[in-house]
Chains A and B, each alone.
Chain A
């Protein structure tokens, strides 16, 4: 009897609060509308305006700017070179973390370190490595691979500039991909890999035929996130190459801060948004898992 009465009061108490969740999410909705949704709309508006009139002028200025094609090209090249290397590296790290090694906690901590390092700090760190009188040249000279300091940050060579930024970005952002892959790995039932092992599958066969297919959703998320974040990279490029190389986000920043032209800056920002969303759709489409395949 008493229990029933108690149940009833609990139900009453809960019932009184039916509208509560909506009140709880209201501040978040309001904040996101004000500081996320509205600026985004405003950004497009700015990109299509010039002195209050509707025009395509900001986009024309953007496309005709001498830095535009260089920035566009470099941004895409960064993604093309970073993503594959980074995924292999992150997968190896994730598999190592998942293997029951002694000192696993220490390895995990070390692999995670770059997660909280900013792109600016990573850029400065790697400029200390790559600069002409820097650490990389010292090490290479010490082990006898070079006789005189090699110029890594060479404004004449796009491929060298690309290499230095790619290395720094892989160093900085692999931790995030690894986390997603580790979370995915932990979701794979041990029976699957054990069964494959019993039937004589080698380690690489297990990775290829069991682990990778089961990791597909995690890989999709990681790829999505990675590509979106790649469009935002800019201070690494500035810290390492100075004005030697540029990317779309760096151009948005320069038009806003140095040229004081918010319309062209907004045009760059809109372009970045469109490219991010387009590549998100592309990734989702390419890696789509058909329903029948999932049920198999």
Chain B
């Protein structure tokens, strides 16, 4: 009995040890880039590096934020992400609702078509769009990039919103309609408020998809890049402090985002990939 108990404890210890080691594998690089971003510029060049937070300073971050083009491209990135959110959820939410609520003919085909867009890389969309956007007069603009990002985020938005609505009982809406609500009022007063937290999580993730995207953004812009496109274009000539501070700045929102939407992730991705 005691032997069994010892074996059990040993197995548990092994599990915790692996979990801790894998956590460190994820966390240590994040810790180091944060450390680099918040040390002095001298410390960034110094070797051997400080491995513990000593002489913390906002000098490197502030140097990055005041570098040429960073403030502007940061602002553009936020605009692009906001427009992408608006377009992809505005266009995709009705479709998500339709898949979740109506067993219409062709629903499965539609769903499959939306899922299969994942198989097509963004690389192939951006190059012809660059040509088209020049003709439309929206090349090198916030609108152009957000239209491309929405194409990327829309399938995701449709599938996620459909899983959000599928999680809300249809009987609630039917009950409201029986009690005299119109179809639209039933949606507005019953389904929408219940779906709001899930929709917000989807919105946050769409925002980060756009915030992170660099290939299309860099191909579709020239003088007005988003932040990742700006970083990429100067990466090989830039100084270490600029690079590390930029990397941290790009990464920082994702730490918060995962924390906020962690409860929805499995619901969202589970549906998206199935």
Contact = CB atoms under 8 A, between A and B. Distances in A.
B67 interface: no
A135 B51 contact: yes
Given A116-B257, A127-B243, A183 B266 contact: yes
B30 A125 contact: yes
Interface residues of B, number: 98
Give the dominant DSSP class at A's interface: helix
A121 interface: yes
Contact of A109 (B98, B126, B258, B270): B258
B183 interface: yes
A32 B42 CA distance: 50
A141 B205 CA distance: 40
Give the dominant DSSP class at B's interface: helix
In the complex, which of the residues A125, A171, A228 has the most CB atoms of chain B within 10 Å of its own CB atom? A125
B2 interface: no
Interface string A261-288: 0100110111011001100100000000
B259 A232 contact: no
A118 B29 contact: no
Given A109-B262, A121-B250, A235 B214 contact: yes
B127 A243 contact: no
A238 B243 CA distance: 13
A180 B269 contact: yes
A239 B33 contact: no
Interface string A13-44: 11011001111110111011001101110110
Interface in A158-178: 171, 176
Contacts of B26: 110-111, 113-114, 171
The range of chain A's interface size is 35 or more
Contacts of A149: 47
B253 to A, nearest CB: 8
B247 A125 contact: yes
Interface stretch (A79-87, A192-200, A248-256): A248-256
B198 interface: no
B8 to A, nearest CB: 12
14 contacts: A10-B178, A17-B183, A27-B95, A31-B154, A92-B22, A107-B22, A110-B27, A120-B228, A141-B48, A142-B48, A179-B265, A228-B121, A239-B232, A269-B123
